[in-house]
Amino acid sequence: MADNTQQERVGVYVCHCGSNIAGVVDVQSVARFAAEDLKGRGVVVARDYTFMCSVTGQELIEQDIREQGLTRVVVAACSPHLHEGTFRGACGRAGLNPYLAEMASIREHVAWVHTDKAVATAKAKAIVNGAVERVLRNEPLEAIRVPIEAGTLVVGGGIAGLQTALEIAEAGYPVHLVEREPSIGGHMAQFDKTFPTLDCAACILTPKMAAAGSHPHIQLHTWSEVEKVEGYVGNYTVTVKKKPRYVLEDVCTGCGICIEKCPVLVVDEAHDAGIGYRKAIYTPFAQAVPNIPVLDPDTCTYYVGGKGGCRACEKFCPTEPNSIVFDQQEERITLRVGNIVLATGWDLFDARRIHQYGYGRLANVFTNLELERMCNAAGPTGGKVVLRDGQTAPARVGIVHCVGSRDRNYNNWCSSICCMQSVKLAHLVKERTGAEVFNFYIDMRTPAKDYDEFYQRVLDEGVHFIRGKVAEVSDVPRGPDEQGPLFVQVEDTLAGLQRRIPVDMVVLSAGLEPRRDSKAVGKTFGIACSTNGWFIEKHAKLDPIATMTEGVFVAGCAQGPKDIPASVAQGAAAAARVLSYIRQGELALEPVRASVNEAQCSGCRLCNGLCPFNAISFIEERRVTEINAALCQGCGTCVAACPAGAISGSGFSNEQLLAQIEGLLLDVARVPEPA
């Protein structure tokens, strides 16, 4: 090994972690090994201490750096994911570049997974040796600093996105809120009451919608979708596609005459979940923000029945100039923002996929969303709970939990809201019809504040809860005497018997799914989705708001199923993160980056196609490749690919890794054959 490492002075610190490490690894022996056997490799001091992460432990390091002139530090303790920051900080305080410290994980990777003390100690020595060899090749690094644009893009105008937008705007910074539907409000606008307080959803949501609609710092882009995202944290350029409304947004007064006069009535698959109707020109609901209608060219007579028919909307529009523009084209807008928050929400599980539950086949099988619309006073039945005939109130209602959720055949996850939603719907049905209600559940999950109290209340109201997964919903009686009209076949696992419950109406609590296009959306924004399609957060526990792409955050159900309070909390948290970036003005990024040594680059372009973040570009004039440090995320794939060795990865260089490999194998090193 070429050695320009002789002049370094290395300190090695072996942590006992109480008995966590010391109980399995002979820490004194490891420290002795470093002090004696690695003297030739520059180790000038090696200590063991009970808790290296304690203030005293850190001071030990700082003191040695100052007094012994250490130029490199190795801490053999827990995983770097836990305390790398701690020990880098200690080095920094003592005047040593923080990136000249390395950790050797002898707790998670040795003491906690092995039992034989001798073997574990030997392995710990090998790991320490690897870390020493590696740290000798570390280079001092500086954090990368990038400026932050003040504007923020929020994608999705549901409750999570609204919360984010309002928080940031209230702090005085500009927000662009992009919403795919004609109005903001999201799924919450469809609901009637919210659990557990039975607040009217509209009463608590519409003030927020109105505030967002009129806020001087919020620019709404409804009926629009993000098409392209370029740039990096602090400096994103976003292209938004604005779909044609066929209505002039800045002229229309929202008087609604066009809607009234439109003769075409079609089923509203979106806001009314398929059980209500809308016109061909419509606003999804009365409190829509913005209160500007959208014309649907798929159903409007002007487009469908040969060009130029009807035109009633245009005829009756009172504005000057006329707000209806039949040949409006889609537009593209370019926005410059520093941060992005994705709050794209969820889709409902398609209950038709479970044939044995009969949705779509049996008229009186409904989804939870259909029932939500029915309960809503502004919904298609004016708040009455009725059968598909539109009139009869049901006398017996079955509510099936976990439809499509917690089911290996469909989705493995718990949709988290359905238990409470089903309890709420049971209450509403009972309140409005006096019907006998049966809830069929696998487990009741009521874990948040006041949730279980609400469940107890509904139990007291006399709703039956039967524990068991429903096998089928059928309209076929077992014998001529069996009275349905529908039967819910279920194994009652508490009573230990099969039951057939006759009902008039069945409500399927269909679960939450990621948006059907979430993978494509993830790709547009450069963030990863789980195989299911939920966006992956940076850390499942400690950072459920950021993503792996700096400057892109997630909020609400796009990250995983959650209820309204959790969505609001996450939306606000995302805003706080964005605001802290904006207020810093510039951002320090981990300096793990790839860079090209132009003198060595042969211009082969092999690396050019490898980067998913478009950080690599080819400079035609000089016939060399260049890497944009701000776009680079530091994965190192290009470093491994470069045949000329022209790309180096800071923090994870070939020299560091090759030395670490050699170091790890100290006890089994093969002696080269004598020539």
Partner 1 sequence: MKALFYPGCAMQRNARAYLDSLLAIRADIDLELEEVADWNCCGATEYMSVHRVPAHALIGRNLALAQRQAADTKLLTAGCSACYLNLAKTDTQMREDRKLEVTVNEALAAGDLHYDAGSLQVRHLLDVVCHDIGYAAVKEKVVKPLYGLKVAAYYGCQVVRPDYDDRWDSHEHPTAMDRLLAALGAEPVDWALKTQCCGGHMTVIGPDVAYGLIRRLVHGAAEAGADLVATLCPMCQLNLDAYQVEMNRHFHADYHLPVLYFTQLMGLAFGHKPADLGIGKEFVDAAPALAKIQVEAPPEAKAKRKRRHRPEDGLPMPRME
Partner 2 sequence: MSESAFEPVIIGFTCNWCSYRAADLAGTSRIKYPPNVRLIRVMCSGRIDPTFVLKALADGADGVMIAGCHPGECHYLEQNYKALRRHRLLQRTLAQFGIEPERVRLTWASAAEGARFAEEVGAMVDEVKKLGPLNWPTRPVPQSEAAAEVAP
Partner residues linked to 154 by β-bridges: 177, 341
Q: Within 13 Å and on the Cβ side, how many CA atoms surround 30?
A: 38
Find the radius of gyration of the CA atoms of the chain. Answer: 32
Strands 175-178, 152-155: pairing is parallel
668 binds partner 2 (CB under 8 A): yes
DSSP 569-621: HHHHHHHHHHHHHHHHSEEEE----EEE-TTT-----GGGGT-TT--EEEETT
Residue 672 interacts, among partner 1, partner 2, none and using kind-specific CB cut-offs from 5 to 8 Å, with partner 2
Q: Which of 290, 634 has the CB closer to partner 2?
A: 634
Which one of residues 120, 209, 324, 418 is an interface residue with partner 2 (CB under 8 A)?
A: 120
CA-CA distance, 489 to 501, in Å (whole number)?
A: 7
128 binds partner 2 (CB under 8 A): no
CA-CA distance, 495 to 51, in Å (whole number)?
A: 55
Residue 658 interacts, among partner 1, partner 2, none and using kind-specific CB cut-offs from 5 to 8 Å, with partner 2
Strands 276-279, 339-342: pairing is unpaired
- Shortest distance, CB of residue 638 to partner 2, whole angstroms? 9
Residue 116 interacts, among partner 2, partner 1, none and using kind-specific CB cut-offs from 5 to 8 Å, with partner 2
Residue 307 interacts, among partner 1, partner 2, none and using kind-specific CB cut-offs from 5 to 8 Å, with none
Residue 636 interacts, among partner 2, partner 1, none and using kind-specific CB cut-offs from 5 to 8 Å, with partner 2
CA-CA distance, 459 to 188, in Å (whole number)?
A: 25
State the residues that interact with partner 1 by CB under 8 A.
265-267, 269, 274-275, 277, 298-299, 304, 352, 354-356, 358-361, 363, 367, 380-381, 386-391, 472, 474-480
- Shortest distance, CB of residue 343 to partner 2, whole angstroms? 21
* Residues in binding contact with partner 2, number by CB under 8 A: 57
Which one of residues 55, 599, 669, 675 is an interface residue with partner 2 (CB under 8 A)?
A: 669
Which stretch, 27-35, 188-196, 569-577, 658-666, contacts partner 2 (CB under 8 A)? 658-666
Which one of residues 57, 130, 231, 234 is an interface residue with partner 2 (CB under 8 A)?
A: 130
116 binds partner 2 (CB under 8 A): yes
- Structure tokens of 396? 């017996």
CA-CA distance, 527 to 524, in Å (whole number)?
A: 8
Query: 3-state class of 405 per DSSP?
Result: coil
Scanning residues 187 to 226, which ones bind partner 2 (CB under 8 A)? none
- Shortest distance, CB of residue 113 to partner 2, whole angstroms? 6
636 binds partner 2 (CB under 8 A): yes
Q: Which of 349, 553 has the CB closer to partner 1?
A: 349
Q: In whole angstroms, how far apart are CA 651 and each of 134, 513, 634, 635, 654?
A: 10, 39, 9, 11, 10
> How far from the centroid of its chain's Cα atoms is residue 165's Cα?
17
Scanning residues 79 to 108, which ones bind partner 2 (CB under 8 A)? 79-81, 105, 107-108
For residues 42 and 72, is the Cβ–Cβ distance under 8 A?
yes
Query: 3-state class of 445 per DSSP?
Result: coil
542 binds partner 2 (CB under 8 A): no
Ramachandran area for residue 617 (φ above 0: left; ψ -120 to 50: alpha; else beta) = beta
Q: Which of 527, 582 has the CB closer to partner 2?
A: 527
265 binds partner 2 (CB under 8 A): no
- Shortest distance, CB of residue 657 to partner 2, whole angstroms? 6
- Shortest distance, CB of residue 354 to partner 1, whole angstroms? 8
At a CB cut-off of 8 Å and minimum separation 6, what does 174 contact?
150, 151, 152, 217, 218, 219
Q: Which of 297, 651 has the CB closer to partner 2?
A: 651
Partner residues linked to 507 by β-bridges: 366, 399
At a CB cut-off of 8 Å and minimum separation 6, what does 458 contact?
423, 426, 427
Show the binding pattern over residues 348-367: x = contacts partner 2 (CB under 8 A), - = does not: --------------------
Which one of residues 44, 126, 508, 573 is an interface residue with partner 2 (CB under 8 A)?
A: 126
Residue 143 interacts, among partner 1, partner 2, none and using kind-specific CB cut-offs from 5 to 8 Å, with none
Partner residues linked to 498 by β-bridges: 491
Which one of residues 325, 442, 528, 604 is an interface residue with partner 2 (CB under 8 A)?
A: 528
Q: Tokens 């809308």, residue?
A: 278
> How far from the centroid of its chain's Cα atoms is residue 400's Cα?
28
Q: Which of 16, 221 has the CB closer to partner 2?
A: 16
Nearest to 124 by CA among 656, 666, 657, 651: 666
640 binds partner 2 (CB under 8 A): yes
544 binds partner 2 (CB under 8 A): no
Burial profile 165-200: b = 16 or more Cβ within 10 angstroms, e = fewer: bbbbbeeebbbbbbbbbbbbbbbbbbbbbbbbeeee
Strands 365-367, 505-510: pairing is parallel
Query: 3-state class of 121 per DSSP?
Result: helix
- Shortest distance, CB of residue 543 to partner 1, whole angstroms? 39
Which one of residues 604, 610, 629, 644 is an interface residue with partner 2 (CB under 8 A)?
A: 610
Strands 218-221, 199-200: pairing is unpaired
At a CB cut-off of 8 Å and minimum separation 6, what does 579 contact?
167, 168, 171, 173
Q: Which of 352, 622 has the CB closer to partner 1?
A: 352
Which one of residues 559, 633, 646, 648 is an interface residue with partner 2 (CB under 8 A)?
A: 633
Residue 305 interacts, among partner 2, partner 1, none and using kind-specific CB cut-offs from 5 to 8 Å, with none
Which one of residues 9, 41, 114, 500 is an interface residue with partner 2 (CB under 8 A)?
A: 114
Residue 377 interacts, among partner 2, partner 1, none and using kind-specific CB cut-offs from 5 to 8 Å, with none
Q: Which of 111, 501 has the CB closer to partner 2?
A: 111
Residue 657 interacts, among partner 1, partner 2, none and using kind-specific CB cut-offs from 5 to 8 Å, with partner 2
DSSP 11-25: EEEEE-TTTTTTTTS
Q: Which of 338, 649 has the CB closer to partner 2?
A: 649
- Shortest distance, CB of residue 665 to partner 2, whole angstroms? 4
- Shortest distance, CB of residue 71 to partner 2, whole angstroms? 22
Q: Which of 79, 356 has the CB closer to partner 1?
A: 356
- Structure tokens of 7? 């002049």
For residues 330 and 243, is the Cβ–Cβ distance under 8 A?
yes
Residue 265 interacts, among partner 2, partner 1, none and using kind-specific CB cut-offs from 5 to 8 Å, with partner 1
Element (H, E) at 501: strand 497-503
Q: Which of 51, 613 has the CB closer to partner 2?
A: 613
CA-CA distance, 426 to 492, in Å (whole number)?
A: 19
- Shortest distance, CB of residue 98 to partner 1, whole angstroms? 54
Residues that bind partner 2 (CB under 8 A): 79-81, 105, 107-110, 112-116, 119-120, 123, 126-127, 130, 523, 526, 528-531, 536, 540, 548, 592, 610, 612-613, 633-637, 639-641, 649, 652, 654, 657-658, 660-662, 664-665, 667-673
